Amino acid sequence: MTTYAVEATDLVKIFGKHRAVDGISLKVPKGIVYGFLGPNGAGKTTMIRMLATLLKPNEGHAKVMGYDLGKEADKVRHSISLTGQFASVDEELSGRENLIFISRLVGYSRKQAKLRADELLHAFQLEDVAKRQVKKYSGGMRRRIDIAASIVTSPELLFLDEPTTGLDPRSRNQVWDIVKALVKNGTTVFLTTQYLEEADQLADLIGVIDRGKLIAEGTSKELKSSIGAGSLTVHFDDSEELKKAQNIFISQFEQEPDINEQDISLTVMIKEHAKAAKAIGELANTNVQIKDFSMSQPSLDEVFLTLTGNVQDQEGGDSTNE
């Protein structure tokens, strides 16, 4: 028995001259949600397509549910399900027909397939639109039928490629609930997302990918603490006081605080909370008048920025092409 759902070693995928995935190694323990976080074009979809046996890696190898991706592709396919980013069901058919169709393909008899389709439609609250063509579904319904089609038989490992991109908050929450239910039932979920909040909310383990490389990995807590405990912001009534405080901060934190002239505020990144408390105390001791102060947890956004050193840009050329 392996304890890992995915064990990838130095996977590389090259499209022309572009190294879409550039030497990624990762291990995903069974039974968790692994969040693969990165901007558009970072290589998330390419990675998922390799792990789901759709693309052959140029270099490296991987085991999925203990089976070798290259030599035992069929066994891998037995253990996984893939919900792609776009149209992972036939838009021309109705929701019910799609589910019967997939059920037949996984090996159910005609009668069982119909039963299974109706069960799924009921559980995913799609009974009302069961006979409507999928292309007439709303975004949220689309996503639900996509996922329903992926769990016709409960997969041991489910790949979800950007499951909530473009969904309204309510539909997004529904998808999140579905993911949580799946994991509770023992399915391992490997999802890609470009939303930090989503990784934060759902993923037990987060891998951050940028330009084809895995640049950080850890729980959301670990990732956040890797850049410190957060930040301290102090507001002042006038810039005189700000000047005095600035000097105190420099000696206390041994770093230059960010100054916001409009707000008349100072912000410093802090490593431990105790230090922040001490610095505030120091301001009071030296009679610096402060208006208010606030502490903030680092957001994954900040983590992302710190790690990649660049603003999350919307580079075109999404990795789904080819």
Nearer to other proteins, 156 or 282 (CB): 156
Nearer to other proteins, 116 or 224 (CB): 116
Tell me, letter by letter, the H, E, C secondary structure of 308-322: HCCCCCCCCCCCCCC
Q: Which of residues 157-176 bind other proteins (CB under 8 A)?
A: 174
Q: Is 286 in the site for other proteins (CB under 8 A)?
A: no
Q: Is 188 left (phi over 0), alpha (psi -120 to 50) or beta?
A: beta
Nearer to other proteins, 132 or 213 (CB): 132
Question: Under rule CB under 8 A, how many of the chain's residues touch other proteins?
Answer: 55
Q: Which of residues 115-154 bind other proteins (CB under 8 A)?
A: 119-120, 122-125, 133, 149-151, 153-154
Q: Structure tokens of 249?
A: 């901060």
Q: Structure tokens of 105?
A: 């393909």
Segment near other proteins (CB under 8 A); pick from 21-29, 98-106, 209-217, 250-258: 98-106
Residues contacting residue 280 through CB under 8 Å, at least 6 positions apart: 232, 234, 290, 293
Residues contacting residue 107 through CB under 8 Å, at least 6 positions apart: none
Q: Is 49 in the site for other proteins (CB under 8 A)?
A: yes
Q: Using the rule CB under 8 A, which residue among 84, 140, 212, 257 binds other proteins?
A: 84
Q: Using the rule CB under 8 A, which residue among 34, 67, 108, 190 binds other proteins?
A: 108
> How far from 99 is each of 94, 118, 144, 149, 306, CA to CA, in Å?
9, 8, 12, 6, 44
Which amino acid does the sequence have at 134?
A: V
Q: Is 106 in the site for other proteins (CB under 8 A)?
A: yes
Which amino acid does the sequence have at 256?
A: E
Q: Which of residues 18-47 bind other proteins (CB under 8 A)?
A: none
Nearer to other proteins, 112 or 296 (CB): 112
Q: Is 104 in the site for other proteins (CB under 8 A)?
A: yes
**Edge-to-edge, what's the strand order for the sheet holding 205-210?**
80-83, 157-161, 188-193, 33-37, 205-210, 213-218
Nearer to other proteins, 132 or 275 (CB): 132
Nearer to other proteins, 17 or 184 (CB): 184
Q: Is 260 in the site for other proteins (CB under 8 A)?
A: no
CA distance 149 to 158: 11
User: At closest approach, how far in Å is the CB of 201 from other proteins?
Assistant: 14
Q: Structure tokens of 81?
A: 């399900």
Binding footprint of other proteins on the chain (CB under 8 A): 49, 52-54, 56, 74-75, 77-78, 80-82, 84-93, 97, 101-102, 104-108, 112, 119-120, 122-125, 133, 149-151, 153-154, 156, 174, 177-178, 180-182, 184-187, 322
